């Protein structure tokens, strides 16, 4: 008997999440001195100096358990977002919160709906909970932005057994964005038995005037959960802090299933400090706008189609299998993200780095693409 048969069926059929290749691994593998990592949508500016100061100050207390309720961070978030602390659920990154939603609302016999080309964690969380994932085809470009969420098709996939719908806005890895009107209409059309998760991990980067803030609709839609993270624009990816904002009843359910002390002491303090440094956040967003434009201009210059993005990354189409180019870039010391596991085998996703890092990426790309 194979030991794998003892696992639940959903886990047996899963493809594990593939993180970006670590810098240290690439250094060891190819004996490289200079590595440019543009694979994991990290903030190239790092974290706010105010955050680093706070972290250094509390390092001596790491022998103590963190505040399991996250009182101070919840209070800071509640004040900033205009909600009650009881509406907030903290997570070890927003991935943790997405997994919580699946564990609380999904089980065998139920299903979750998500879009084609959407975040890989949605099917992982769904299948781990024993539920069935239902993928709705993305837009083909005829009725909406190509590769973007087709909300009409997603709504058609909802049935009496659907308990969760996952919507990423902006979406990773495509960077596509849903407007206020279309997202609101979709949420209003959902049956009462469906929990709607609007994943806003890249919320701070989306500057489009029509970009919705789903928090505004919490009072209108009792089944709405909005998730966000400190990993992206706030530069705290290594400390793993995310959160959900929802109604008090749903928050209570999620907190019942949440692991004790799921956010560490450094993360709690760093996130609270990051909220206060609005100047650093604005500098981050401005730098991202410039870097994203630099990437798009480089792709246009080289004749590559790319997906217009509202996030801190751009995915582009090589017009041929991307894995060999990805491998060649690794040997040049440049780490990007191949998208074959998302059903986009000809695409690479490139995070917005500094201007110098983007120049180094294009120089490496030109070298590996020489016939």
Region of 46 (left: φ > 0; alpha: ψ -120 to 50; beta: rest) is: left
Residues 6+ apart with CB under 8 A from 138: 115, 116, 117, 146, 147, 148, 149, 150, 174
CA–CA gap between residue 324 and residue 78 (Å, rounded): 47
b or e along 140-161 (b: 16 or more beta carbons within 10 Å of the residue's beta carbon)? eeeebbebbbbbebbbebbeee
Question: What span, in angstroms and rounded, lies between the C-alpha atoms of 100 and 120?
Answer: 16
Residues 239-254: b if buried by 16+ CB within 10 A, e if exposed: bbbbbbbbbeebbebb
Write the DSSP assignment of 196-209 as a string of letters: EEEE-TTGGG---T
Q: Which helix (H) or strand (E) holds 337?
A: strand 337-338
Spell out the per-residue pLDDT of the chain, length 371, in tens: 788 777 777 787 777 777 777 788 887 887 787 899 999 999 999 999 999 999 999 999 999 999 999 999 999 999 999 999 999 999 999 999 999 999 999 999 999 999 999 999 999 999 999 999 999 999 998 888 999 999 999 999 999 999 999 999 999 999 999 999 999 999 999 999 999 999 999 999 998 889 999 999 999 999 999 999 999 999 999 999 999 999 999 999 999 999 999 999 999 999 999 999 999 999 999 999 999 999 999 999 999 999 999 999 999 999 999 999 999 999 999 999 999 999 999 999 999 999 999 999 999 999 999 87
Question: What 3-state class would DSSP assign to 25?
Answer: helix
The predicted structure's pLDDT at residue 185: 98
CA proximity to 122, closest of 59, 21, 198: 198
Which domains does the chain possess? 3-46+279-368 (3.90.1150.10), 49-276 (3.40.640.10)
pLDDT of residue 143: 87
């Amino acid at each position: 008997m194979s030991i794998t048969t003892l696992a639940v069926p959903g886990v047996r059929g899963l493809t594990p999440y593939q993180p970006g290749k670590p810098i240290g691994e690439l250094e060891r593998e190819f004996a490289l001195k200079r590595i440019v990592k543009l694979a994991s949508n990290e903030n190239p500016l790092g974290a706010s100096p105010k955050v680093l100061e706070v972290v250094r100050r509390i390092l001596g207390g790491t022998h103590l358990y963190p505040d399991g309720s996250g009182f101070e961070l919840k209070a800071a978030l509640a004040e900033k977002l205009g909600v009650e602390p009881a509406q907030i659920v903290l997570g070890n990154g927003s991935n943790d919160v997405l997994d919580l939603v699946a564990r609380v609302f999904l089980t065998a016999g139920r299903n979750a709906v998500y879009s084609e080309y959407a975040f890989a964690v949605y099917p992982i969380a769904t299948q781990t909970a024993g539920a069935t994932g239902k993928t709705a085809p993305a837009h083909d470009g005829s009725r909406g932005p190509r590769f973007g969420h087709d909300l009409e098709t997603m709504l058609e996939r909802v049935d009496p057994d659907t308990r969760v719908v996952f919507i990423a806005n902006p979406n990773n890895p495509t960077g596509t964005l849903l407007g206020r009107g279309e997202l609101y209409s979709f949420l209003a059309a959902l049956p009462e038995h469906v929990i709607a998760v609007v994943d806003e991990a890249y919320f701070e980067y989306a500057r489009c005037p029509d970009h919705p803030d789903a928090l505004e609709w919490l009072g209108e839609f009792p089944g709405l959960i909005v998730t966000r993270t400190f990993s992206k624009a706030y530069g705290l990816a290594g400390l793993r802090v995310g959160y959900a904002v929802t109604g008090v009843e749903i928050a209570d359910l999620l907190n019942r299933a949440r692991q004790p002390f799921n956010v560490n002491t450094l993360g709690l303090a760093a996130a609270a400090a990051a909220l206060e440094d609005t100047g650093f956040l604005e500098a981050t967003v401005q730098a991202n706008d410039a870097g994203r434009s630099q990437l798009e201009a480089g792709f246009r210059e080289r004749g590559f189609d790319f997906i217009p993005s509202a996030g801190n990354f751009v995915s582009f189409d090589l017009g041929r299998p991307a894995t060999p180019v990805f491998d060649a870039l690794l040997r040049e010391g440049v780490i990007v993200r191949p998208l074959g596991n998302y059903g986009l085998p000809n695409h690479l996703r490139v995070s917005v780095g500094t201007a110098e890092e983007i120049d180094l990426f294009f120089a490496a790309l030109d070298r590996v693409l020489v016939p």
